[in-house]
Structure 1
Amino acid sequence: MLILITISASIGSFLSVIIHRVPSGNSIMKPASHCPKCREKIKFSDNIPILGYILLRGQCRYCREHISLRYPLVEALAVILTLLIYRVYGQSSAFLLYTGLAYLLIAITFIDIDHFIIPNGFIVIGLIVLLPTQALGWLPMHWGDGINGSLCFAGFLFAMGIIGQFILKKESIGFGDVKLGLILGGFLGMELSVLALYLSFVSSAFIVITTIARGNAGRGTKIPFGPYLAIGTLATLLTNLPGGGNMIINWYFRTMF
């Protein structure tokens, strides 16, 4: 378990680099991590995920510039999601694939929040992993279910985007979200795609209504939808049952029928 925590925290640290550099077109390999103010290279001991931030008290060792809390947050999020996914799927190919998907969604979430974009490179990576994965049967579903899931997820988002454009007279769901839907639906399958979409829209509606009620947003405020797709997808994956089925879907049918 300690090895899993160490690896996932390190990946979380690398995700922070991706989140910071990819939107601006900078290399994720060089230069080495450094303070954006004084440009001093960060020592290896200071770059230890989570612990380095705590020991430095959130400041650069050299110039005392404040270090964003987002760095340890992303690292902690990567660790937590890894452990939760492991708890559901154990030592399996599904664990590796869904954990990789979670890391991808972490990066997409923060980039979409900052820049309102979902880089095409992430979609390409998702497809490169998804297609052979489905063909080789490494996910707990038939490949045909994955295709139906992709069509369902992306098709619904595309339709909602058209409807939103017609009603609001402006873009409501970007095409980047639709392309992401292709990936998510392929990993989830048809039934779980419906649940993930439902949870995505419910979570977005809750946050938007709460934000508007508190006076922090208005009708013209631009809101990224990628984070809510991530929430819906991860909530769906984490409520799956080891023996098959999903806790939320099971609860719904017990309650309604």
Structure 2
Amino acid sequence: MKQTYILSYTTDLKIVGGLPQLDFVNCNYGINKESSFIHIEKNWNDKSFKPDLINCFKFKHLARGRQTDILSVSFSVFGSAGILVSDRFRDILLEYKLWDYKIYDMLIPNHKAEFHYNYMHFMSNDSNLEKMFDAVDFPECKLIGRRIINEDPYEEIKEDVFFQDKEAYRDFYFDRSKAGLIVKKLALKEEYKDYDLFKNPLASGGMHIHISERLKNRLEEEKITGITMTPTTEFRVPYAVE
């Protein structure tokens, strides 16, 4: 598989001013209930479904937070399912091949003004497991599942589980005793290899947004602010204790 990079928020306070940049105020699920955030994945294949996120979510731009092309948010449910990007960032991304995403309008207050941002939502792995698993070329991957096999919190004993096919990984995924997954090598099937942006199909926690080298280079050229792009080598989801 080609070199990819994990796209994330920067924690450099010289760039963002403070973390998070946006504070979650409230969520009005009662307003336009059938078009609210919680129904996005339920209606994922319905092209006419347009959630009213502007009225559903209220954020406050913190005084210490600076306005960058990607904004960090204090509301974990919102932040773990997608990213808030500027119009400039959105327009660049739409020139590339992206996998399983939708974009919704958002208004972000900054002192006395409001700024238009875009919520780029990525399909949750838990909502469409088979589609996620089908993208992975399991025989070509190097995956280690780390499982806790005793219940003594003072002396946790772990065993490593190795996977060669989708069925073995699915069994591990639904096992509540798992402690996490170590991905030494991620391989995708041929039809998924050309995507410039995709959410890691094995990541059950957090975003784990991967981007291609050519998209990384473009974001650097355009000086997109507020992001980090880390080369993908070994990574762990959601965590795996040594």
Structure 2 length normalisation: TM-score? Answer: 0.30
Structure with greater helix percent: 1
Higher strand fraction: Structure 1 or Structure 2?
2
Q: Indicate the structure whose relative CO is greater, using CA pairs within 8 Å and at least 6 residues apart.
A: 2
